């Protein structure tokens, strides 16, 4: 099969499946899931075939198709097939397939199952468009489709208030970042005279104004700030947990948040040194802030959500500090599997607790505990994926985090500047905090006694192949064995020139310290969690309340000043119009009307002189002559 046909097939299959499911409607709810899985199987098979046939270190295929023509200018819809494309096609389709398989059981009770799977396929189609395209303009079109798809999926349960608010928040906050991204695309086209990623990667940037080039890179990075939840636009991601849990797994692992990192890897050649420093600082703040907030969460999904914020910040730092972004891309690859595994494990736990029939908050970790005995498969898989998240040995996360740490130390050594050591040590701190909240989460959920008195723990069970199979496969992909094979096949070996001798010691010391302190604080304080204000409180105080106050002032000004001024002006206009009407009647119309009346009166008087009587004519003539004589005499 030619690369052109394969590319179009991979891109359009999810869209076709989405349209078919929508056309079938609610009457075929059960069929919609199997159709969706069949489409995912086809896409995964095509992606693997594509990788086998075209993955070589030297091969970079660009496929151009005429999109539309304006005057003499033709705009191209182009595919870029390289190592990054082929790897992401595999990741997106694998995670999408496992998420949809998991959804068969998790969402089977929903009356709008057809709508769920249709939205899910639209989401996958949008992400595949970002992965495949060679054009920044086309990427932006799919970028916005990803935003639309996430809005539909986060707000899937639209009858409830919280999902509606979360969907609107995600959509609006992403529009802020996307506005900067679009300006960056326009500026890039103005400066570089092209929107092709292939052409951009071969440009000589030394002849371009460095200030404008820095501005271009930072504006393009705004898209990543929104989609990949970087500071200060990161607060939408934890709220997005209001959507179905399988959607959370897809968003956090392989689609929406991955889009920002993938785009940043693509535009890496555009980034100047100054732009990279700004990006590294924002990534560092995001990494530490996300890890800090994760420590104080009691919701199982929000803990994982803030963990994703932190890991995305780590990837952003790696892109900014590296030569080509390979280390960040490697962690994006491994993170997709263990983070999807963690979310699906969380979903399996929530599902098991809901099956008890009791009404309570099934996501609150304070109401869990002792689940290792009742859900051993979930316990083992959750622990493995958490180990990969922490970067423990024999997991894929260990290798990719180690590569990022080496890149950070390499950057600090090469810069010969003391302040650059902030980045590697911030990463070490982030690794330690990750281990801290991860071990506490495992202890909260699986160790000790079950803490919910409303639920009989004996009724909890995990026997369902649709739930267990995806999380088992994702756990296997996160450790040595299958995970190592996937890493060796799909990831390019990252060249490391760092001479820092203590990077491995630093990483494992940080992990050990985090595990130890997490265990000790659990033993000391148990499940007690102090309240911590997140950025939402800051936004409420600084932006939301000030905006509402300003809006109230504008409303008052509008109603009291503007409306009253308009009303008084209208009344004045009525009075003025009445004066004009009187003047018009009295003078404009009155003068000709009065003249006509006088002439009419004179005519009525003089008409009596023309009565046909000769005697009267003689009298009139005599009187006229007499009048003239008298006039002349005096």
Summarize pLDDT for 191-236 with one digit per residue, the tens: 998 888 988 988 888 888 999 999 999 999 999 999 999 998 988 9
Other CB atoms within 10 A of residue 372 CB: 17
pTM metric for this prediction: 0.85
Least confident of 251-255, 257-261, 527-531: 527-531
- First-to-last alpha carbon distance for the chain, in angstroms, is 127
The pLDDT confidence band at residue 332, using thresholds 50, 70 and 90, is: very high
Phi, psi angles (nearest 5°) of residue 80: -115, 115
The pLDDT confidence band at residue 634, using thresholds 50, 70 and 90, is: low
Residue 11 has pLDDT above 70, yes or no: yes
Give 67-100 pLDDT, tens digit per residue. 767 677 667 778 898 889 999 999 999 999 999 9
Residue 530 has pLDDT above 80, yes or no: no
Across the chain, how many H-helices and E-strands are there? Answer: 25, 2
Q: If you average pLDDT over every residue of the chain, what do you get?
A: 87
The stretches of 355-451 forming alpha helices (DSSP H) are 376-390, 396-415, 422-446
User: What's the number of CA atoms in the CB half-sphere (13 Å) around residue 207?
Assistant: 4
For residues 255 and 321, the model is more confident at 321
Q: How far is CA 311 from CA 282, 288, 326, 423, 596, in A?
A: 13, 9, 15, 14, 95
Would you state the pLDDT for residue 500? 54
Residue 289 has pLDDT above 90, yes or no: yes
Q: Which residues lie closer than 8 Å to 549 by C-beta, 6 or more apart?
A: none
**Contact of 321 with 411, CB cutoff 8 Å:** yes
Q: What is the distance between the alpha carbons of residues 229 and 171, in angstroms, rounded to a whole number?
A: 12
Burial of 418 (0-12, 13-18, 19+ CB in 10 A): exposed
Residue 548 has pLDDT above 80, yes or no: no
Tell me the three-class secondary structure of 40-100, residue by residue: HHHHHHHHHHHHHHHCCCCCCEEEEEEEEEECCEEEEEEEEECHHHHHHHHHHHHHHHHHH
* Residues in the chain, overall count: 634
Give 96-128 pLDDT, tens digit per residue. 999 999 999 998 888 899 999 999 999 999 999
- H/E segment holding residue 261: helix 256-266
The pLDDT confidence band at residue 452, using thresholds 50, 70 and 90, is: confident
Handedness of CA 145, 148, 154, 159 (dihedral sign): negative
Give 158-196 pLDDT, tens digit per residue. 888 899 999 999 999 999 999 999 999 999 999 998 888
Q: What is the mean pLDDT of residues 451-462?
A: 81
**Contact of 183 with 171, CB cutoff 8 Å:** no
Six-digit token string for 118? 């249709």
Q: Which residues lie closer than 8 Å to 108 by C-beta, 6 or more apart?
A: 33
Q: What is the distance between the alpha carbons of residues 12 and 126, in angstroms, rounded to a whole number?
A: 10
Residue 478 has pLDDT above 70, yes or no: yes
Q: Which residues pair with 80 in a beta bridge?
A: 62
């Amino acid at each position: 099969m030619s690369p052109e046909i394969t590319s179009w097939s991979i891109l359009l299959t999810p869209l076709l499946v989405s349209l078919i499911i929508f056309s079938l409607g609610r009457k075929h709810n059960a069929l919609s899931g199997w159709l969706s899985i069949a489409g995912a199987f086809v896409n995964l098979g095509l992606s693997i075939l594509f990788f086998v046939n075209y993955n070589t270190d030297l091969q970079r295929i660009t496929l151009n198709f005429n999109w539309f023509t304006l005057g003499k200018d033709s705009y191209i819809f182009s595919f870029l097939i390289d190592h990054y494309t082929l790897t992401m096609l595999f990741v997106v389709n694998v995670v999408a397939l496992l998420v949809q398989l998991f959804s068969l059981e998790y969402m089977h009770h929903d009356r709008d199952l057809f709508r769920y799977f249709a939205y899910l396929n639209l989401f996958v189609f949008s992400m595949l468009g970002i992965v495949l395209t060679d054009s920044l303009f086309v990427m932006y079109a799919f970028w916005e489709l990803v935003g639309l798809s996430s809005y539909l999926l986060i707000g899937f349960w639209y009858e409830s208030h919280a999902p509606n608010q979360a969907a609107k928040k995600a959509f609006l906050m992403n529009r802020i970042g996307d506005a900067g991204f679009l300006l960056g695309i326009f500026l890039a086209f103005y400066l570089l005279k092209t929107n092709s990623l292939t052409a951009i990667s071969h440009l000589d940037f030394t002849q371009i104004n460095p200030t404008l080039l820095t501005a271009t890179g930072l504006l393009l990075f705004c898209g990543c700030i929104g989609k990949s939840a970087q500071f200060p636009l990161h607060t939408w991601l934890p709220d997005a947990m209001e959507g179905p849990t399988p959607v959370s797994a897809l968003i956090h692992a392989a689609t929406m948040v991955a889009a920002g990192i993938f785009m940043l890897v693509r535009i890496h050649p555009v980034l100047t040194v100054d732009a990279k420093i700004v990006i590294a600082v924002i990534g560092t703040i995001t990494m530490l802030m996300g890890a800090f907030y994760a420590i104080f969460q009691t919701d199982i999904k929000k803990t994982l959500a803030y963990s994703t914020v932190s890991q995305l910040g780590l990837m952003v730092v790696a892109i900014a500090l590296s030569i080509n972004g390979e280390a960040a891309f490697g962690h994006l690859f491994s993170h997709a599997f263990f983070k999807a595994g963690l979310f699906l494990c969380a979903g399996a736990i929530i599902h098991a607790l809901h099956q008890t029939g009791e009404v309570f908050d099934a996501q609150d970790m304070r109401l869990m505990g002792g689940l290792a005995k009742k859900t051993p498969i979930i316990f083992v898989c959750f622990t493995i994926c958490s180990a990969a998240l922490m970067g423990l040995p024999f997991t894929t996360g260990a290798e990719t985090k180690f590569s990022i740490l080496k890149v950070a130390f390499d950057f600090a050594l090469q810069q010969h500047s003391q302040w650059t050591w902030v980045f590697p040590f911030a990463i070490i701190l982030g690794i330690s905090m990750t281990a801290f909240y991860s071990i506490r989460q495992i202890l909260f959920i699986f160790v000790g006694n079950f803490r919910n008195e409303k639920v009989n723990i004996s009724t909890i069970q995990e026997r369902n192949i649709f739930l267990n199979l995806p999380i088992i496969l994702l756990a296997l992909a996160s450790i040595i064995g299958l995970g190592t094979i996937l890493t060796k096949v799909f990831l390019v070996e990252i060249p490391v020139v760092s001479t820092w001798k203590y990077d491995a010691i630093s990483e494992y010391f940080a992990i050990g310290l985090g595990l130890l302190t997490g265990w000790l604080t659990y033993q000391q304080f148990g499940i007690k969690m102090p309240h911590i204000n997140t950025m939402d409180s800051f936004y409420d105080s600084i932006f939301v309340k000030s905006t509402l106050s300003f809006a109230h002032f504008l409303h008052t000004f509008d109603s009291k000043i503007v409306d009253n001024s308009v009303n008084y002006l209208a009344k004045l206009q009525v009075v003025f119009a009445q004066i004009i009407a009187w003047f018009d009647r009295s003078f404009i119309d009155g003068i000709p009307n009065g003249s006509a009346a006088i002439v009419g009166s004179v005519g009525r008087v003089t008409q009596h002189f023309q009565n046909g009587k000769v005697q009267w004519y003689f009298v009139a003539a005599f009187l006229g002559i007499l009048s003239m004589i008298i006039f002349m005499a005096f």
